[in-house]
Structure 1
């Protein structure tokens, strides 16, 4: 196997999964490890972070785990300090932590809107604030934000706090890419489309009266490729953006969507 991240350290925020299954976070963490990275698995749910580290250990990889709320500066700083204490560098920052709440502008409670922005945008800001000086001192690194196609187009359901926060995350990506390009720090966003993941099952099933197969069929019909993606499609894109094969790519917003955004009005 070509180990594209050999000798590198990846810090993955939101590395757990909402159930004991494969989600975007643990798939990315394991994919990084399979390419040779040592992985720091961080999640608000410590048991979920530990499960991800255990998956890496079971495959012969190296990982540690920690619990942190990404919206809390002290907790974010603590996991960055632990990563540095343990490994002495951070080459990849993967911001996967994210939440959403159903509803449009009128229906969404102010506290829910604030909490979504705290996690989805402030969390990325805080982790970048802590990690960019590390990357600058060591000569570079790659920052990957997990956004969504909901950041650039209407996706059929009102989830305004999520949609607006992911749009903000895209522009945060561009600003970091421009400001820190001279430091050899790249920053890109991944925009997953209709992905068949446990997180989607939790957040989207209510729109389909709890019928999982109905949801899968309806979402698959929307995609030019006539199927939903899976978490490994997202993880493989993250590996590409983390490694040197993408060394001249920064400020990008990469859709992983089977072409669905080509059919939607932006």
Structure 2
């Protein structure tokens, strides 16, 4: 929605087409332009189809925002092999596939900007034992650096956003079992933050907008922490 407000023509992609259509309706209601596409971003054919549909509709892809991610709680012993594979497929393979299929068009048109949404958990302990999430976000950081350097001479930038503790719907399902209830979880996570409050999705959106824009034309390979300063703070493990 923020990108559309700034004049971008948006393609909203989701595994749940109704979720993408909800975004589309909201953008159109504000006078923006938005197409809705269904895709499982862990599947190469789906990603290629969406990229080709975007080119057919708009003729180019100036900005690619990879903002799909899941979390599964558990350390190396507790986490199942299936959950490990699922987290890496969704969090890392999806970004690899989106880059694979979008980069040739960006190169052909003379440039572009890729923004990958990682996590503070990719560079430090996040207070919850989800080893697959942290490891996958570290992999996202590495993927982004390599894309940034390989394509820098082709006027294609790739930067990464590392959100800290954020108050979004994503935290409810995977983390609710670690706390007495959702309100207790939110209160405890708010208390951890230096500002006394978690961030929100708009904070990440504004960071993505900057990294996608011409104002950041000399910013490449950056890992931008959006966490209210939390990365400077020591996090103790939550008691069992």
TM-score range, shorter-chain basis? over 0.9
2:88 matches 1:81: no
Which of structure 1's runs of 4+ aligned residues deviate more than 3 A?
none
Aligned match of 2:206 in 221, 225, 236? 236
State the secondary structure of the residue aligned to 2:65: strand
Deviation per residue, 1:10-46 (Å, 9 max, x gap): xxxxxxxxxxxxxxxxxxxx01101000000000111
State the secondary structure of the residue aligned to 2:162: strand
Deviation per residue, 1:101-153 (Å, 9 max, x gap): 11111111111111111111111000000011111111111100010001011
- Name 1:6's counterpart in structure 2: none
2:66 matches 1:95: yes
- Name 1:14's counterpart in structure 2: none
- Name 2:238's counterpart in structure 1: none
Does the CA-based 8 Å contact 1:153-1:264 persist in structure 2? no
Aligned match of 1:191 in 156, 162, 166? 162
Following the alignment from structure 1 to structure 2, what is the Cα–Cα distance between the partners of residues 64 and 44?
14
State the secondary structure of the residue aligned to 1:93: strand
Displacement of 1:202: 2.2
Following the alignment from structure 2 to structure 1, what is the Cα–Cα distance between the partners of residues 200 and 98?
26
State the secondary structure of the residue aligned to 2:49: helix
Following the alignment from structure 1 to structure 2, what is the Cα–Cα distance between the partners of residues 39 and 241?
16
- Name 1:32's counterpart in structure 2: 3
**TM-score between both structures, scaled by the size of structure 1:** 0.86
Following the alignment from structure 1 to structure 2, what is the Cα–Cα distance between the partners of residues 63 and 220?
34
Following the alignment from structure 1 to structure 2, what is the Cα–Cα distance between the partners of residues 178 and 201?
36
2:203 matches 1:254: no
Q: CA RMSD in A?
A: 1.0
Following the alignment from structure 2 to structure 1, what is the Cα–Cα distance between the partners of residues 74 and 121?
14
- For 1:1-266, what aligned pairs fall within 5 Å after superposition? 30-209=1-180, 211-264=181-234
Following the alignment from structure 1 to structure 2, what is the Cα–Cα distance between the partners of residues 224 and 39?
34
Following the alignment from structure 2 to structure 1, what is the Cα–Cα distance between the partners of residues 221 and 83?
29
Does the CA-based 8 Å contact 1:188-1:253 persist in structure 2? yes
What residue ranges of structure 2 are gaps of 5+ in the alignment?
A: 236-240
Following the alignment from structure 1 to structure 2, what is the Cα–Cα distance between the partners of residues 190 and 139?
24
Following the alignment from structure 1 to structure 2, what is the Cα–Cα distance between the partners of residues 188 and 232?
18
Deviation per residue, 1:184-224 (Å, 9 max, x gap): 10001101111111111222222112x22221221122111
State the secondary structure of the residue aligned to 1:70: coil
> In the comparison of the two structures, how many residue pairs are matched?
235
Displacement of 1:264: 3.2
